[in-house]
Structures are given as structure tokens and as C-alpha cells.
Structure 1
Amino acid sequence: MPLRNAIETYARQRPDTLAVCISGTSLTYGALYETVMGLNAALAALPARSRPDLTLPDAGRLFAYAAGNHPSAAFLLATCLATPHAVELLDPHWPDSLHQKTLAKLPPDALFCLSTQTALIESASRLGIPVIRVDTPDFASFLAPPVPLPWTAGTDIFLVGFTSGTTSQPKAFARARHSWRASLDASRIAFALTENSHTFAPGPLAHGITLYAFAETLDLGASFFGLTQFEPVAAQRAMSNARRIVAVPTLLGALCKSDPQDQIREITTAGAKLDPNLLKKARATFPKARLHEYYGASELGFVSLNTHGPNSSSAPAHSVGRPFPHVSLSIRKDGQEVSQGEDGTIFVRGDLAIDGYLWGGRNSGFRREGPWATVGDVGRLNNDGSLSLLGREGGMVITSGHNVYPQEVETALSEIPGLEGAVVIGLTHPSRGQEINAIVCGNAPLGEVRAQLRLRLPRYKLPRRFFKVQAWPLTSSGKPDRATLKAWLETKDDKLAPLGP
């Protein structure tokens, strides 16, 4: 059923049930529904701006949210999920200049932010956008008397999201309600979710994996636990009340530094390939949990899934799993499907993808070929039906005339005991065109790493140079920051220690 119906049902049937707790600020389903009704009425009373590239229903308004994991996120994100309004979800870690450009390109009818975000507030004021500071009495004053929620249509837009993809500038996309409705129905079964799947998701709500976990949890009528910012003691406290964890691998690794957590029964992770060492740690820390590792994209939704039990996995470790339920995969080159085992661009057919970008994706990222959609990732379908991810179009390294995808080398490195992650980067070389460089974290001896790689990869795919990093620089979504690592390589930064000759 639509999330509007779900939240209303839980609020009426069990209003005192915990819906959301963010760093100790708790909210019942009854209180959540009451505030959402007030927000809906207040937003509907705002004058609507004209936006040629984004159509909302007559009762719908576009509001921007930039306050990260402030407890007000529970009200505002539930409002976009359950009412005709849509959210323009801004990452609070963006530089001021990017916030300003985004507001100018797609001015919202209101901006919700923190009082400390002064540059953002000034930019909104110049554009005539009403500002509501969620950490002040502004928020309570903005609310209108609650009125019953109107119906929502599946074709209506509820989210304007942003993804950087292969470029440094975010690409904006709009997502319609029916795509997440289909996703929620599929993931409920695939991840074995019930009303008792109380979920701890420690990541930023501005990013897809955490926002989707929030929607999943409300759809189930379970309790969602989040953090205003990640801190180990607070994370342990929140995790003790949950039965499920949703986190990118870097945050999952931080949670594995604790005593065994028998109460956790399901884990969902995405955003980067789960390396075997982290899988081993997760199995030890969460001995009663199944771990669902999925590959997907903000533009495509779910693509493939690998579920790891205590002793086995549903797909080979080197793969990113088998097609997600109700999703078909095709590996294609020049508009034609290639044979099984051949490399090509990964295309997806299903009802989870967006229609296209609002801006920023003219020359890269999401595109369609008939009913098939892709974000430009390259891979192959193996003989057992699993999918191997090799890299992204444009990310290929050409060294001495050979084509090498960094993801394939990184996967081979991740299988070596003693390594806790790897990033492979191609740098310009005077005679080879490009040279393969591997940056690793861990204590495996270089000789053993080279020997293991020779067993897994042809000679032309072997890195020429290796570097060790003590701690990964991370993007705001918790992934290794490749741009920073490449800059460190180019400038010979001492944060990277050369290994061997």
C-alpha cells in the first residue's frame, strides 16, 4: 500500500509505537502522523513556483532540505513520502557555491536548514525562498493545524536527488512514487523484512541507502534508529535496540569493532563491493545475521543481490550477485546484446529506474536503449547467472594497448588475506599510455600480494606500483575518495607510502 496509507494506519492502530529515534530524540507513529499533517497543510498554503522541468500536482510543493540527520528529518522526509509534496534533498557537506547553484537552478517553495548554514540562508533569501530554521522555534511556528492527508498518485514526483557519478558536479534526477513502491514490495521479500525489522542506519539521510532504509522501516511499521553524526558509543547504543543494520561497507566495518551482537538478524549493505575480510568480520560480529549485499544505483534502483549466510553465499564472492527480483539484465555493446561471458555495458529492465536527469547527465551516466536503462557500468554475466562488475565507461585504463577495468583488479586484491581494501588508479605514463597503481590498506606482504595477483589476473592487468594508506579519505557517502587519492598519487603526498621498488 502507499506509504501515506501505511503511516496513517500505524498511527491509528498503534500510535504509541516508536517510529523514529535519531540520537536519542524519539518519535511515535502518532506524533509523526500529526506533524506530517501539519507540515502538509503549511506547505500547501505556500505560493507555488513555476518550474518547466518539474511538474507537481496542484496541491504539491517542492521544499529543499539541507539539515542532514537533524531529528527534523523524520518529519520532513516522511512528508515527502506520504503527501503530494516533493523534497529537493541537498547534501549539507556540499560547498556553499554548489548549494547556491542548485537553489538557483531549481528554486524550491521553501528551504528547511540549520541556523548555522548562513551562506545557504543568504542565498535563499536573495532568491526570495522562505527559510525555516529547523533548530529554532521557526519550525513549530511554520506548522499549520493538522488536516487529513490527501491521496497521492504513483506518477507524482516525491524526490529530487543528486548523484555525482563519473563527474565532479552532481546530476539531478526526479523519482516518481511508483518506482519506490515497486522497490519496497521487492525488497520486503528479498531482505526478509517484517514489522519487527527495527533498523539501525547510521549513514547520512541525504544519501540513497539511508533514505531508502527510512522508507522501508516506516512501510513495515517498525522502528528506525539513526545518528546525527557517527560516533562509536552512540552507534553501539542505537544498534542494541535494532534487529537490522543498513550501512555502506565503511560504516559496517566500524560497527564490527564490538562484541558479538546476537540481536542483529539482517544486514543490508551497498555502495561498494564487500571485501572478503570485512565479510569475515561481519560474520563474527553478527553471528545470527544474514548479510544482503546489493549492487544498484540511485538512477536504476536495485540491480543484483548476493545474500551471505553464516557459511555460504547465494552467488560467488567475486560477483555482485544475481539479478534482483523482477529485474532483468542485459550486457550490451553498440545496441546489441553480447554473449554470456563477454564484457559490455550493464543494462537493466524493470520498473525501478528513473525517466532521466533534470540536468547534468548529457554526456555521461544514465541513458536508455528502448526498455533498457544503464548508468554506464561495465560487467559480464557469468555462466552461473551471476554478474561481475568491471568498472564504468570512461573509467577504463589503457596500458600498453590493453584495456583494464580498475574494479576487476580491486576485486582480485580484495580476495587476498591481510588486505582491508584497495583502490586502483591509472596515471599517465610516457611509454605505456597509462600505468596501473594500486593503493591498499592492510598488512599483507608485498611479495605475497604480487604472487596472489599473478594467480588471479593476466600479466598486463597487474599493478606496476603499490602504495599503502593508513586511513582512506572518504566521500560524504562513505566511499573511498578516488579524486583525492589520485591527487595524492600525482603530488607524491606522504599520506601514501610506496611499497617495494
Structure 2
Amino acid sequence: MPLRHAIDHHARQRSDALAVSVSGTSLTYGALADRLQRLHAALAALPYRAHKDLSLPTEARLFAVAVGNHPAAATLLPAALATPHAVMLLDPHWPAALHQRMLAKLPPDIVFCLSSQTALIQAAAHLSIPTICVDTDAFDTFLAAPAEITLTSPRDTFMVGFTSGTTSEPKAFARARHSWRASLDASRLAFALTDQSHTFSPGPLAHGISLYTLAETLDLGATFHTITRFDLADAHRAMTATRRIVAVPSLLAALCHGTPQDQVVEITTAGAKLDPALLSKAREFFPRARLHEYYGASELGFVSLNTHGRSSSSAPANSVGHPFPHVALSIRDAGHEVAQGSPGTIFVRGDLAIEGYLWGGRTSGFRREGPWATVGDLGKLNFDGSLTLLGREGGMVITAGHNVYPQEIETALTDIPGITAALVLGRTHRSRGQELVALLHGDTPLEEIRSQLAIRLPRYKLPRRFFRASNWPLTSSGKPDRAALLTWLEQKDARLAPLLPAS
């Protein structure tokens, strides 16, 4: 059932039921359905502009959103999911110059932003793109009289997203409606969701995991809760009304403070692998919750899933789980599938992937080989059918002639008691080509780390330098910023403390 029909159904059956709450600013299903009709009418009245790279009906418009988690997002984002219009997701934390380049490459019909985003407003004006500041009266003034929402096609574009990362120009991709329809059907079963799965997702709505969770929750007829910016007290208040949490590991760790939350029964996390210490902490703080850890990508959708109970998991700890429902996996090299247990590039086959990038990605990222699609992640299929990640094409480290995948070493490091997080980088070295450097959270002595790694890894995979970091920088999507950390290493930044043998 398309999301438009789901929202209409919930509005008719339970008009006063809470649909979305953003830091206490709320919309019922009845109010949401009304605002979607009014926004649809206002967007459809905008002058027509052709978007040759997108599949849009003539009555649809492309609207850009850069409002973060402002309460207006509770109307704007569902509009892309439930009307013929498509959203262009601009990260409000991007620098002004990047916003300008994205608008020039794909000019939307209108931009919704905050009044403080003056550079974005000026860039849009330069391109003759109208802007609406949602933190003023302009947004409610823009909405028109309610109009019947026209039907959508499964092949139509509903979203233009961007790959995450701060070291290169983001690559844009378009998503068709049918891909998320298939995802919603699969995740409902995989995550055991019902109309009582009231969900708190504290992350940025400009990122796929939170936006997808919004769609998932509205499709069920449950309530979606978020906050305008992360604050632990606000987060705990929002959690009291929810049974489910969806968050990247860094935000999940931030939530695990204070009084344990026994009303939460389901947690979903993605974006980075859970380290054992955080899994243990989450089990203590959410004593009744099952924790679903999935691996996926914006371009691929869901790939694999590992579900953790109180004392056991559905897949081995060194894996990212078994294939997601309706997804087939293949580990391939030079166009051919490799033997089970051998490393290669992870390819997926299913209904969840995009067709390709709108720009960029000629030499890296998403590509297809027949029915199979990949983003260049490397891994191996274990003999129990689970998937182990080894890194990303181009992220492999070549040291003294050996090919080494940092993820494998990071997993071995976080298995050592006392190490709560680990990152392994390849730093240029005069004679070895690259040397392996490990950055750690934890207080385990260097001698213990080295002796434990010697049991787990061959000699050529052992890091030559170890540093302790109390914190490390994250990208806007909550992942470790490896480029910034390499700069810290080169500049001998004091935030990285070398681990030395005990005297």
C-alpha cells in the first residue's frame, strides 16, 4: 500500500492519533493529512521546470529541504513520501559553497530553509529559485487550500539524496518509490514492527536512517518522535513515550546514560558496526530490548542483519549478520563469484538498490554487474552464511607487499577486554609503503594489546603504532572522520596520545 493511502487510512480511522512529535511540537494523523493536501496544492501551483535526470510527472515539483530537524520537517518530508513531489535532501551542516554547487547542478523548484541560512538564500536567489523560511510565518502562508493528492507511479522519483562524507564532492542519486515500498515490507517483518512501534530517532532527518524510520513509522500508524538538536534530557523525555529506538551507534552510546529504560523493547542501529562494549552497555541500559544491527548503504538499502538478544546473537560477533529478507549476496572479483570464505567485493541483488548516480561515481562507489549492485565494500561470506566486512575498495592498506583490510584488525582490537572502540589507518611509510596505525578508546596496556593481537592475527596485520584518543572527529552522518584523523597523525596532534611500553 503506498504511503499516501496508509496516511489517509490512519487519518480516517484515528484522526486524533499522534503521528509526529518534534521536541514536543506535534501533528496528529488528521492534521498531517490536511497539511499534506495543502502543501501538495501549493507545490503543484509553482511554475513547471523540467528535471531531465529525474522521473517526475508533469504535476510534480522538486523541492529542496535544508531545515534539519525543525518541526516543519514533519510536513515537508512526508510530502515526498505521500504526494507526487520529490525532495532534494540538503544537509544543513554543509558549508555554504557546497550548498551553492548542489543547487547549481540540480536546481529545484523551491527551497525550504531557515532564515539564518543567508548564504543558501542568496545562492537560490542568484539561480532564481524561490525560498521559504520555515521558521517564519512564510511557511504557513505558502500552504494553499487542500487539494486531492494525485496518484503516484512506483517508478517515479521521490527523493534525491547525497552520499555522506566530507573529503570529496557528494554524489547525488535518485530513489524511485518502489524501492522504499519493497524496503518497508521487508523491514516490517525483520524488525517485528506493529502499530504500537512508537519510535524515537534522534539523528538528523537529512540522513537516510532517520528519514526511512519516519516513513516506516507512518506506514505502521505509530508515532515518530525526534528532537530538534541532541540534548540528553530532551532525548530521555522523548524516549518515555516510545517502545523503539533507531540510531547510529554514536547516538545510541550517548543515550545510554541515566536511569535504564525498560519500556524500550526494540532498537535498530546502522551506519557503523557495534563494538562489543557498546552492545553490552545497551543491553544493560535497555534490559527488555532486542537490538537489530543492520548493514546497508544509501545506494543499496538493507544488505544484512544481526539481531542481538539478552545473551545471544543471530550471527557471529565478527560478522554483520545474514542477508536481509529479499536480498541475495555475492562476493565477486573481476566479474566472477569467489569461493566461500574468500575476500572480494560485496554485491547484492534485490529490489532495494538505486539505478545509478546522477553525477559522480565514475571511478568509485555504486556500480552494477548485470543484476548485481555494489558500493565497493569488501567482505567475505562465512561458512554459516553470515557476512564479514573487510573494508572499502581503495581503503585497503598495502603494507610490506601484503593486502590488509582495516576492519578485520579493528574487530580483533575491540575483542580485547578494556578496548571500547578502535580505528586502524594506513599511514605513508618510506620503506613499507604504508604502516598500520591503531587509534583506541580504552585503558588496556600496550603489552596486553600486542600479546592479544598476536594470538588473533598474523604478524603482517599487526599495527606498528598505537595511540589513545579520548574522542575522535565524526562526519555529519556520525561515522569516524578518517581523513581528519590522518591529519592529526601527520601534525602530531596532542589529542592522540602515543601508547608506550611500560618502563
Aligned residue identity for 1:347: F
Instruction: State the distance in 2 between where 1:198 and 1:233 align.
Output: 19
2:121–2:131 contact (8 Å) kept in structure 1:
yes
Name the residue aligned to 2:349. 349
Name the residue aligned to 1:61. 61
2:353–2:373 contact (8 Å) kept in structure 1:
yes
Offset from partner CA, 1:61-111 (integer Å, 9 cap, x none): 000000100000010001000000000000000000000000000000000
Offset from partner CA, 1:224-251 (integer Å, 9 cap, x none): 0101100010011001111000000000
Instruction: State the distance in 2 between where 1:164 and 1:247 align.
Output: 16
Deviates more, 1:413-422 or 1:24-33: 413-422
Instruction: State the distance in 1 between where 2:2 and 2:362 align.
Output: 33
2:165–2:476 contact (8 Å) kept in structure 1:
no
Tell whether 2:9 aligns with 1:12: no
Instruction: State the distance in 1 between where 2:224 and 2:95 align.
Output: 29
Q: Shift in Å at residue 166 of structure 1?
A: 9.4
Unaligned runs of 5+ in 1: none
Identity %: 71
Instruction: State the distance in 2 between where 1:255 and 1:164 align.
Output: 23
1:349–1:373 contact (8 Å) kept in structure 2:
yes
Aligned residue identity for 1:92: P
Aligned residue identity for 2:207: H
Name the residue aligned to 1:162. 162
Instruction: State the distance in 1 between where 2:3 and 2:414 align.
Output: 39
Q: TM-score, normalised by structure 2?
A: 0.99
Deviates more, 1:106-115 or 1:53-62: 53-62
Aligned residue identity for 1:250: S
Aligned residue identity for 1:18: L
For residue 452 of structure 1, give the secondary structure of its aligned residue in structure 2: helix
Name the residue aligned to 1:339. 339
Name the residue aligned to 1:268. 268
Name the residue aligned to 2:2. 2
Aligned residue identity for 1:255: L
For residue 135 of structure 1, give the secondary structure of its aligned residue in structure 2: coil
Name the residue aligned to 1:137. 137
For residue 77 of structure 1, give the secondary structure of its aligned residue in structure 2: helix
Tell whether 2:54 aligns with 1:72: no
For residue 293 of structure 1, give the secondary structure of its aligned residue in structure 2: strand
Equivalences, count: 501
Aligned residue identity for 1:488: W
2:55–2:155 contact (8 Å) kept in structure 1:
no
Instruction: State the distance in 2 between where 1:316 and 1:167 align.
Output: 33
Instruction: State the distance in 1 between where 2:185 and 2:233 align.
Output: 34
For residue 122 of structure 1, give the secondary structure of its aligned residue in structure 2: helix
Aligned ranges for residues 239-250 of structure 1 at < 5 Å?
239-250=239-250
Name the residue aligned to 2:124. 124
Q: Shift in Å at residue 50 of structure 1?
A: 2.0
Name the residue aligned to 1:183. 183
1:303–1:323 contact (8 Å) kept in structure 2:
yes
Instruction: State the distance in 1 between where 2:106 and 2:245 align.
Output: 34
Aligned ranges for residues 216-231 of structure 1 at < 5 Å?
216-231=216-231
Instruction: State the distance in 2 between where 1:166 and 1:430 align.
Output: 28
Instruction: State the distance in 2 between where 1:478 and 1:164 align.
Output: 10
Instruction: State the distance in 2 between where 1:56 and 1:477 align.
Output: 28
Q: Shift in Å at residue 258 of structure 1?
A: 2.2
Q: Shift in Å at residue 415 of structure 1?
A: 1.4
Name the residue aligned to 1:86. 86
Misfit runs of 4+, over 6 Å: none
For residue 64 of structure 1, give the secondary structure of its aligned residue in structure 2: strand
Aligned ranges for residues 327-406 of structure 1 at < 5 Å?
327-406=327-406
Q: Shift in Å at residue 165 of structure 1?
A: 5.9
Name the residue aligned to 1:42. 42
Cα root mean square deviation, aligned: 0.9
Q: Shift in Å at residue 419 of structure 1?
A: 1.3
1:195–1:220 contact (8 Å) kept in structure 2:
yes
Aligned ranges for residues 87-126 of structure 1 at < 5 Å?
87-126=87-126
For residue 69 of structure 1, give the secondary structure of its aligned residue in structure 2: coil
Aligned residue identity for 2:190: A
2:300–2:353 contact (8 Å) kept in structure 1:
yes
Q: Shift in Å at residue 420 of structure 1?
A: 1.6
Instruction: State the distance in 1 between where 2:189 and 2:121 align.
Output: 43
Instruction: State the distance in 1 between where 2:231 and 2:167 align.
Output: 30
Q: Shift in Å at residue 451 of structure 1?
A: 1.5
Name the residue aligned to 1:416. 416
Name the residue aligned to 2:469. 469
Name the residue aligned to 2:194. 194
For residue 174 of structure 1, give the secondary structure of its aligned residue in structure 2: strand
Instruction: State the distance in 2 between where 1:259 and 1:420 align.
Output: 21
Offset from partner CA, 1:304-361 (integer Å, 9 cap, x none): 0000000100000000000000100000000000000000000000000000000111
Q: Shift in Å at residue 174 of structure 1?
A: 0.2
2:166–2:475 contact (8 Å) kept in structure 1:
no
For residue 20 of structure 1, give the secondary structure of its aligned residue in structure 2: strand
Name the residue aligned to 2:294. 294
For residue 307 of structure 2, give the secondary structure of its aligned residue in structure 1: strand
Name the residue aligned to 2:312. 312
1:166–1:365 contact (8 Å) kept in structure 2:
no
Aligned residue identity for 1:350: G
Unaligned runs of 5+ in 2: none
For residue 388 of structure 1, give the secondary structure of its aligned residue in structure 2: strand
Instruction: State the distance in 2 between where 1:212 and 1:447 align.
Output: 45
